[in-house]
Structure 1
Amino acid sequence: MRTLVLNAGYEPLAIVSFKRALVLVMNEKATVVEHVDGLPVWGTRAAFDRPAVILLTRYVRVPGGRHIPVTRRGVLRRDAHRCAYCGKSASTIDHVLPRSRGGADSWENLVACCLRCNNVKGDRTPQEMGWELKIVPRPPHGTQWTVRGTERSDPQWERYLAIAA
């Protein structure tokens, strides 16, 4: 069981285990906003609802803009596992400007690519090949990227995640 943690301003912060959420509630650092229907959890002094969404009682400052690290899995997910050149199913990633020519490992320079297009393109740019990108590579944004675990979200979380999107 997992629980969505909201900052005091209702901004989604994280997904935590059910146990961690219950500890925050028992220590009065959070309150239950949405609970799972069913049996309560019995403590030594009281009964607690099983938390699905909790709200922190104090605002937690999130340092700077959340940086999303570039990963192979992230590039494939951003591009929906579709080749940026032909649109077929992608299993590899490609540097638009090849690394040998100074291309960086950045969201703007990496795209999902099928094995065939990746091998044909080799160490050239799409312009040299006469190819056009079907997508514009950009850094991803939204709560599904900044709050880990939301790709498998609970229906009770939807309205809280929609606020931040």
Structure 2
Amino acid sequence: MRTLVLNAGYEPLAIVSFKRALVLVMNAKATVIERVEDDPVCGIQTTFDRPAVIVLTRYVRVPQARRVPVTRRGVLRRDGHRCGYCGKSATTIDHVLPRSRGGADSWENLVAACLRCNNVKGDRTPAEMRWELRLTPRAPHGAQWTVRGSERSDPVWEPYLELAA
């Protein structure tokens, strides 16, 4: 079971285990604002609500430029596991400008690709192949990318994650 942690300003910070969230609540560092119904946690002397969403009592400073690291899984997720060239199911990633020609491992130069398109394209650019990209590759943004673990979202969290988008 996981819990969404909101900063004192109600912007999403992280998703933590329910145990970690409960420790924050017990130490008065956070308060429960959404709970799991009919499933309290019973201690020796006290009963606590099982937290689904908590808000910190003090504001935590977050670095401005939270850059999302470039990963194979991230590129596939950004492109919806669809090939950037033909639209079929993608299992690999492709450099739009090949690495042998100075192409970087960046969000703007990587697209999801099916195995067939990746092999046919080889060491060429889409322009040389007379292919067009179905999307413009760019760095992802939004709470679902900056809040770790939010890709497997709980319906209770949706209103709080939408505020940050």
For normalisation by structure 2, the TM-score amounts to 0.97
1:59 aligns with: 59
- Say whether residues 1:162 and 2:162 are aligned partners: yes
Q: Which moved more, 1:146-155 or 1:103-112?
A: 146-155
Q: What is the aligned-residue RMSD (CA, Å)?
A: 0.9
Separation of aligned partners in 1, 2:19 and 2:57 = 18
1:101 aligns with: 101
Separation of aligned partners in 1, 2:40 and 2:123 = 60
Residue 156 of structure 2 aligns to a residue in which SS? helix
- Say whether residues 1:91 and 2:87 are aligned partners: no
2:40 aligns with: 40
Residue 131 of structure 1 aligns to a residue in which SS? coil
User: Compared with structure 1, are the counterparts of its residues 125 and 39 closer, same or farther at alpha carbon in structure 2 (3 Å cutoff)?
Assistant: closer
1:131 aligns with: 131
Aligned pairs for 1:4-43 within 5 A: 4-43=4-43
2:76 aligns with: 76
> Counterpart amino acid of 1:53?
V
2:50 aligns with: 50
Note the C-alpha offset of 1:150. 1.2
> How many corresponding residue pairs?
165
Residue 39 of structure 2 aligns to a residue in which SS? strand
> Counterpart amino acid of 2:53?
V
User: Compared with structure 1, are the counterparts of its residues 133 and 58 closer, same or farther at alpha carbon in structure 2 (3 Å cutoff)?
Assistant: same
Q: Which moved more, 1:143-152 or 1:2-11?
A: 143-152
Separation of aligned partners in 2, 1:83 and 1:76 = 9
Note the C-alpha offset of 1:97. 0.3
> Counterpart amino acid of 2:136?
V
Query: Can you give the 5+ residue segments of structure 2 that lack an aligned partner in the other structure?
Result: none
1:141 aligns with: 141
Separation of aligned partners in 2, 1:41 and 1:130 = 61
Separation of aligned partners in 1, 2:37 and 2:8 = 24
Note the C-alpha offset of 1:43. 2.6
Note the C-alpha offset of 1:153. 1.2
Query: Can you give the 5+ residue segments of structure 1 that lack an aligned partner in the other structure?
Result: none
2:119 aligns with: 119
Separation of aligned partners in 1, 2:153 and 2:129 = 41
State, as a whole percentage, how many aligned pairs show the same letter.
Answer: 81
Note the C-alpha offset of 1:41. 1.6
